Chains A and B, each alone.
Chain A
């Protein structure tokens, strides 16, 4: 993929800076990536929950096509990204997040501005957008990642039920070596867990089992995969497909499992916040991401599929999380407290 454009763009990359001053001051920034510094125009400021490594191909492709638009790409956790817009009213031009419920809440509560109609936007499947406020960018499965030595070759679990059985069969082997998101601190983790729970009782049984095995809870997928690679974990439940596939592509010890009973499909969505100072550039970026060049740049990352090239509908075990105000029920204070109480009860067992 390293064409002349990327070479040109690389020359413009001035580095990755952490904790920069400016609009991100009150934001817990994880990573920042700048393209086209020195270009006089006001930059396109993107607040995203997608790691730079997964975003870089499309950012560079966009910058190659629009060298007049400098980009500042800020990575934060889903919850701090939501807070930055909803509570702190920080100014960003585009918010890309995997927490569909939080994105929905931003749009529902009037923090998003309408995206002008375009041919690209029109082509987006109806299930992957909500009004003219939220647009899906990519689809990725929510997967189980295991070390290849965690299970015997013929005992690799393909459903949640099989996973429960494996864990129960050999509790000593798995004690302290099962990981998942902490729904209390991770927005995406809470979304996955609550969606899982909505599909039946298996989730809570699994929660009981991994709670008894002293599961380790993570805020972020990166750490979880690192621990898997290091061998601290044997199994990680509900990981985002893109990171997992990317790591598994480099590390043969990692095994990505899409459960056959059902696999949640997560939409990574984008919206233009009301606080945007440069909404035109944001719309250009959105239209680019939905164009052929953008689709190619998204699909280049393993496990990450553009909404434009994803198979539509609920094929086989795929369960695309519905992008509508039903997601708001997830975020209900009482329901969330309830859910977390239940979760804690499952995790902390006497």
Chain B
């Protein structure tokens, strides 16, 4: 059920976690189709009935004229009857559909000519106007007209009943032909309604898909309210969703602010502890005490580092959902970064080797975040390298991608750890002896994610680690 309109997002996979009721789209389509079927059947019946009535009315008028002609043909001379029945009167009745024709003339209750078994209407007509009725003759259903005329018979005015009947094959054939067309019309209407109802259902439900798509495409830190234009019917749903997002962001930002505050508050007294300890170390004569003071200084250092990372992380969290992106030249950024890290590297007697292309490498991003991420990568490399090692930095452009590689000869990472290092506070199995918060790589991954980039760690050939951080070019 891949729907191209929703893009290759992970919506279907997420849907699996949602309790599903009846599909709205299916329900809508069924309702549209049911309405269309009802309309088609109604159309068919209406045309069929109208056609039947029209054909019957047309044939009735012919039958009436023929009955009048029949009645006018009867004359009497004393008690001799003379019937002038032109064959065309009967031919005419048969013309429409080669119908069977029956007639009967009754005088004083006696059938003087025609079919004795042709029934007269229940109420014998009295006027000169034909009365229509339905009856059957030898099992054949017929439509009949009957009228009464008075003739001078045997010296007296005498009522004569005339009845003329015909089968209605012609009428049925016409009605059938029209009904067949009406049927095709109805079927055509229905067939046309199928794609229309599909389109209509899709159009109606489209905004829901768009909103879902928009939300599901967001990065993990994107807590902006949903801004898509939606039909008013969807507004309550979106309002509720936005309210939820707002509360979530508030809670999120409170947490990050709290962490940043806490880190900041910890760092200041740590600096004081370190300064005091350094003074004490300088003044202390006892080796035992000096060793302890060095440990204090080192712990304060590590602690301060962790606090910085916590602050960095809070920064990343607070900035990743804001639109503060601009063109960033990675070469210059790395130049600055290396310059600022060099003292730390020198302290550990590490050499930093740095290679970049001559032309500028520009990506679109948040300069501060990119710098923080790259600094963390470099910081890690420095932290886990052995003294006298060299760290290689490489900025390259391949295709539409800029990539920064940081290669060290440190203790490397076990393959098993590669996937598990990104989450917060996770650290490799082999670095338990080095102080670290486990926040660094998490933050790098978050920055790369929020910039549509990639970050991966690989063991380096000949020992050490290779960190790749790549971003799409601007």
Contacts and interface: CB of A to CB of B under 8 A. Distances in A.
A334 B112 contact: yes
Contact of A324 (B82, B86, B94, B169): B94
B98 interface: yes
B455 interface: no
Contacts of A333: 112-114
A328 B90 contact: yes
Interface in B83-127: 83-91, 93-95, 98-102, 105, 112-115
Given A109-B138, A131-B169, A324-B98, A334 B82 contact: yes
A322 interface: yes
A231 interface: no
Nearest to B112: A334
B87 to A, nearest CB: 3
B140 interface: yes
Interface string A93-137: 000000000000001111000000000000000000011000000
Contact of A329 (B87, B100, B105, B169): B87
Contact of A130 (B87, B98, B114): B98
Given A325-B90, A328-B90, A110 B113 contact: no
A329 B73 CA distance: 12
Contact of B101 (A108, A131, A322, A335): A108
B139 A198 contact: no
Contacts of A198: 87
A326 B90 contact: yes
Nearest to A336: B113
Range, interface on chain A: 20 to 34
Interface in A295-350: 322, 324-330, 332-335, 338
Given A325-B100, A325-B101, A333-B113, A110 B87 contact: no
B81 interface: yes
Interface residues of B, number: 28
Contacts of B81: 334
Nearest to A130: B98
Interface in B169-223: 169
B87 A327 contact: yes
A329 B103 CA distance: 10
B98 A335 contact: no
Contacts of B89: 326, 329
A328 B101 contact: yes
Given A325-B93, A329-B87, A333-B113, A108 B102 contact: yes
B90 A110 contact: no
Nearest to B140: A110
Contacts of B114: 332-333
B94 A325 contact: yes
A325 B91 contact: yes
B80 to A, nearest CB: 9
Given A198-B87, A325-B91, A326-B90, A334 B138 contact: no
Contacts of B139: 110
Contact of B113 (A108, A330, A332): A332
Nearest to B89: A329
A334 B101 contact: no
A349 B382 CA distance: 150
Nearest to A134: B98
Contacts of B86: 329
Contacts of A334: 81-83, 105, 112-113
B88 A326 contact: yes
Contacts of B93: 325
Contacts of A322: 87, 91
A64 to B, nearest CB: 34
A108 B166 CA distance: 10
Contacts of B82: 334, 338
Contacts of A326: 87-91, 94
B70 to A, nearest CB: 10
A109 B101 CA distance: 9
Given A108-B101, A110-B139, A334-B82, A329 B90 contact: yes
Contacts of B91: 322, 324-326
Contacts of B84: 335
A114 to B, nearest CB: 11
Contacts of B101: 108, 325, 328
A140 to B, nearest CB: 21
Nearest to A322: B91
A339 to B, nearest CB: 11
B362 to A, nearest CB: 84
A326 B166 CA distance: 13
Interface in A197-221: 198
A322 B169 CA distance: 20
A266 to B, nearest CB: 16
Q: Which of B84, B86, B89, B100 has the most C-beta atoms of chain A within 10 angstroms of its own C-beta?
A: B100
A322 B112 CA distance: 26
A108 B100 CA distance: 5
Contacts of A107: 100
A110 B137 CA distance: 9
Contacts of A130: 98
Contact of B85 (A108, A131, A332): A332
A145 B210 CA distance: 97
Interface string A160-201: 000000000000000000000000000000000000001000
A325 B101 CA distance: 7
Contacts of A109: 100, 115, 138
Interface in B129-165: 138-140
Nearest to B86: A329
Contacts of A332: 83, 85, 113-114
A257 B87 CA distance: 28
A330 B98 contact: no
A191 B99 CA distance: 22
Contacts of A325: 90-91, 93-94, 99-101
A326 B84 CA distance: 13
Interface of A: 107-110, 130-131, 198, 322, 324-330, 332-335, 338
Given A326-B94, A328-B87, 13 more contacts: A107-B100, A108-B101, A109-B100, A110-B140, A131-B98, A198-B87, A322-B87, A325-B99, A325-B100, A326-B88, A334-B81, A334-B112, A335-B85
Closest 4 CB pairs of A and B: A326-B87, A326-B91, A334-B83, A325-B101
20 contacts: A107-B100, A108-B100, A108-B101, A109-B115, A109-B138, A110-B138, A110-B140, A130-B98, A131-B98, A325-B91, A325-B93, A325-B94, A325-B100, A326-B88, A328-B87, A330-B87, A332-B113, A334-B83, A334-B105, A334-B112
